[in-house]
Amino acid sequence: MQTLAKLQHALSALCRAAMALVFFALIAVVTIQITTRTLGLYSPVWTEELSRYLLLYMTAFGIGLSLLSGDLVNVDLLQESVSESLAWWLRLLAAAATAVMGAVMILPAWKFTAIGALQRAPSLRIPMHYVHAAILLLAVLLFLFALLRVVGMIAGTEDGRPHFDEEG
């Protein structure tokens, strides 16, 4: 099951790197907006649109990392008040339900992405399937991260508790 931990680590590293790139792009776009407006210059219309799309991709790349770190909605009050054995089962059930939800979202997100090929972004003029793909990516990553947690819990390589360290 060492392979499972390596896969989770690689997926986490990939998502962290992608999120960093998107974040730096967002900083650049917002800096252009602020600088041009502050100096009284023409502010490019595309910056507002691009910043919204970059936020979508930040969310998509961050969803699995949030699951690992416990930053998603996590009701641990119940888990802390029951036995460790029951808490483990509750965490497994929550991870499995999250994996199922991610899996259920994939097909509709795929269809939504395909519809985007018929449309163009108003100011950037790029096909909207590039934008809609963020939702598909979010569903796939949520499914993968939750599935890895479920498999890890069943294999005994993790207990399903959030990882607060930098390595995920």
Instruction: Look at residue 165 and tell me if it is in a domain.
Output: no
Residue 75's pLDDT is 66
Instruction: Look at residue 48 and tell me if it is in a domain.
Output: yes
Instruction: Look at residue 115 and tell me if it is in a domain.
Output: yes
CA distance 49 to 33: 11
Instruction: Look at residue 166 and tell me if it is in a domain.
Output: no
Phi, psi of 120 (to 5 degrees): -125, 145
Pick the closest to residue 5 from 110, 157, 165, 163 (CA basis).
Answer: 157
Instruction: Look at residue 130 and tell me if it is in a domain.
Output: yes
Q: What is the pLDDT of residues 141-163, one digit of tens each?
A: 999 999 999 999 999 888 888 87
Instruction: Look at residue 113 and tell me if it is in a domain.
Output: yes
Give the mean model confidence (pLDDT) for residues 76-85. Answer: 79
Lowest mean pLDDT among 25-39, 52-66, 76-90: 76-90
Domain limits for position 34: 1-155
Total domains in the fold of the chain: 1
pTM of the model: 0.88
Do residues 138 and 63 make contact, with C-beta atoms less than 8 angstroms apart? yes
Do residues 1 and 155 make contact, with C-beta atoms less than 8 angstroms apart? yes
Phi, psi of 48 (to 5 degrees): -65, -45
Instruction: Look at residue 146 and tell me if it is in a domain.
Output: yes
Instruction: Look at residue 85 and tell me if it is in a domain.
Output: yes
Collapsing DSSP to helix, strand or coil, 120 comes out as: strand
